[in-house]
Structure formats: C-alpha cells, structure tokens
C-alpha cells in the first residue's frame, strides 16, 4: 500500500438499543488497519440503507426480507413496560398484558413488536417515535411496551420498567446484502459476531505454522564418544574408559587384570595348616 492510498473502511449500521461496542473492539484488535465506521439508523430505515449499499452490514430487528438480504439471528430481547416510578405496576417484578387492561398503551410508528392485538385501552393517536412515547409516559399519560434495550436507551430518573411475561419479543440479527461470494470484510465481521477465533478457516487465513527449530550439533567430544559407543555396543567397560579419558581407561583395564590375578592366587596351592 502506498502512502496516498486510503485503507478500505467497513461500514456498520445498527438500530437504536443495540450496543455493538464489544464486536467493534474485537474488529479493531484483529484489523487495526481497516477503519470501522458506525451509523445508528432507525428500524424503519435500516433495511433501505443496506439495500442502497450505504452500509456493509447492520444490526437489525427481525423479521428480515430474505429476498435480497441475508441475516443471522443473534439473541432475543426481554419485553418490558415503561411506567412512572409511582405507578401501581412498579410494585411488581413481573406482570402480564392483562395487568395493562385499564391503561392506555402507546404504539409508536417505529414500534418493533409484532402485536396480534395491542393490550390496554386504544390510544387516540400513534406517537411518531419511541422517544415521543416516552415523553408522554413521563407526563403521566399512558404506558409503553418496548424491548428492554430501548427502555434502557431512553432511561429517565422519573420512569422505571417491569418485565411483561406474555408480550411479543424482539429478536436482534446481523444482516447484510446478498452477494456471491460474500465480501471478505463482511465475512470477517460475521466471524467476529459468531465468536470465531482469529485462526478460523472461515475467518482470516490461519497463521502459518512456524518451522521447528533444528537441534544443535553435539560437542565434538560427546559426539565422537556417542558414535564410538554405538559402533562398539553401549555399556562396555573399554568404551566407557576411552570416552572419559585414555589414562583412566588404562587403569580400569589394569584393575580388571589384577582382579583376575587375585582370582588366580585363590585357586593356587592351599596353605599348610599349622
């Protein structure tokens, strides 16, 4: 790469409530020379951004039209109801949709939950955004049922939230435009999201194995002794003496002869008894 070339960047979109920080951190560790740019996009607009090629991939909420987009489901979010802190619902840890029967339940236009029938009393209008609905709840008008990540995103000190056990849930997925083959950078990010290691065969190319270090040549004396022992048959007295010291070997050999001489003295004429 020359100094005038700009490294290719990876463009990642994400819908409100999703926190991509951990995946971005891993990307920066593995591909420090490829910048990753983030763009928060509303749930209603994110698929158009991907189709237009304005992002390489994006964290979205299902469902995804698989006609021209691919997707990997990642996790399911808990659904909660946002209420004022002094609301009667706040006294419980969990509730059901029946507990909201007397409440005005707001359904903003960017609602991500797939309701068959919205619980509670019908509202006179639909707020444009989740943020607008939060403002109405804070004003003491109605309640809002959303994925927990959105309740955290729009946290206020005067509001709280509780789990709704039988409400629809939201599923977060990684999505990208269909292409054959999948672009290398998209494949890299898929591997990161799926937890592949850096040496995974479907991620980056594995790090080549390092050649084993060659054994050092033995010292001249040790090598000759070992080779001589191997030729003569290991464990012989003469071989051991010569490999250690020529003089020492001579003494051992003479000592061996002395032992035989002593044995001969014992086998000579018996001494006379007094």
The C-alpha atoms of residue 69 and residue 65 are separated, in whole angstroms, by: 6
Take residue 100 and report the two structure tokens written for it. Answer: 């909201």
- Count up the domains in the chain and report the number: 2
Q: Are residues 49 and 95 in the same domain?
A: no
Query: Taking a C-beta distance cutoff of 8 angstroms, is the pair 179, 43 a contact?
Result: no
Question: pLDDT at position 197, please?
Answer: 81
Give the range of the structural domain holding residue 57, as residue numbers without chain letter: 10-76+171-193
Task: Give the relative orientation of helices 237-244 and 246-266 as an angle to the nearest 10 degrees.
Answer: 140
Query: Taking a C-beta distance cutoff of 8 angstroms, is the pair 192, 122 a contact?
Result: no
User: Taking the mean position of all CA atoms in its chain, how far away is CA 151?
Assistant: 27
The candidate with the shortest Cα–Cα distance to 163, out of 175, 148, 143, is 148
Q: Is the pTM of this model over 0.75?
A: no
Question: pLDDT at position 253, please?
Answer: 44
Q: Are residues 149 and 187 in the same domain?
A: no
Write the CB contacts of 30 (distance below 8 Å, at least 6 apart in sequence). 188, 192, 198, 204
Q: Are residues 115 and 67 in the same domain?
A: no
Q: Are residues 160 and 95 in the same domain?
A: yes
Question: pLDDT at position 202, please?
Answer: 52
Take residue 185 and report the two structure tokens written for it. Answer: 């950078």
The CATH number assigned to the domain holding 15 equals 3.40.190.10
The C-alpha atoms of residue 143 and residue 136 are separated, in whole angstroms, by: 8
Q: Are residues 85 and 133 in the same domain?
A: yes
What are the average pLDDT values for consecutive 10-residue runs of the chain, which has 274 residues?
60 96 96 96 95 97 95 97 96 96 96 94 92 96 97 96 97 96 96 85 47 51 45 43 43 44 45 50
Query: Taking a C-beta distance cutoff of 8 angstroms, is the pair 158, 90 a contact?
Result: no
Question: pLDDT at position 257, please?
Answer: 44
Q: Are residues 93 and 137 in the same domain?
A: yes
Take residue 113 and report the two structure tokens written for it. Answer: 């939950």
Q: Are residues 43 and 117 in the same domain?
A: no
Q: Are residues 86 and 163 in the same domain?
A: yes
Take residue 220 and report the two structure tokens written for it. Answer: 């001249």
Residue 207 lies in a domain: no
């Amino acid at each position: 790469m020359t100094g005038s070339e700009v490294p290719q960047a990876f463009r990642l979109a994400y819908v409100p409530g999703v926190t991509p920080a951990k995946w971005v951190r891993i990307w920066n560790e593995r591909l420090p020379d490829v910048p990753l740019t983030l763009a928060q996009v509303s749930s209603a607009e994110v698929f158009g951004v991907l189709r237009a090629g304005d992002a390489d991939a994006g964290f979205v909420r299902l469902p995804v039209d698989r006609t021209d987009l691919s997707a990997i489901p990642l996790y399911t979010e808990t659904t909660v109801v946002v209420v004022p802190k002094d609301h009667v619902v706040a006294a419980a840890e969990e509730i059901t949709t029946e507990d909201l029967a007397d409440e005005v339940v707001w359904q903003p236009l960017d609602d991500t939950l797939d309701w068959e029938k919205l619980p509670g009393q019908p509202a006179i209008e639909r707020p444009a955004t989740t943020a607008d609905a939060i403002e109405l709840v804070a004003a003491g008008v109605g309640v809002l049922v959303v994925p927990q990540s959105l309740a955290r995103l729009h946290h206020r000190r005067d509001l709280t939230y509780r789990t709704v056990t039988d409400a629809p849930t939201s599923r977060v997925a990684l999505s990208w435009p269909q292409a054959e083959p999948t672009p290398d950078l998209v494949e890299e990010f898929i591997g990161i999201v799926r937890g592949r290691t850096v040496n995974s065969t479907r991620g980056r190319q594995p790090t080549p194995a390092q050649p084993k270090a060659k054994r050092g040549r033995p010292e001249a004396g040790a090598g000759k002794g070992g080779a001589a022992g191997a030729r003569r048959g290991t464990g012989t007295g003469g071989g051991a003496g010569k490999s250690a010291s020529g003089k020492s070997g001579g003494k051992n050999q003479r000592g061996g002869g002395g032992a035989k001489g002593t044995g001969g003295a014992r086998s000579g004429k018996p001494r006379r008894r007094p």
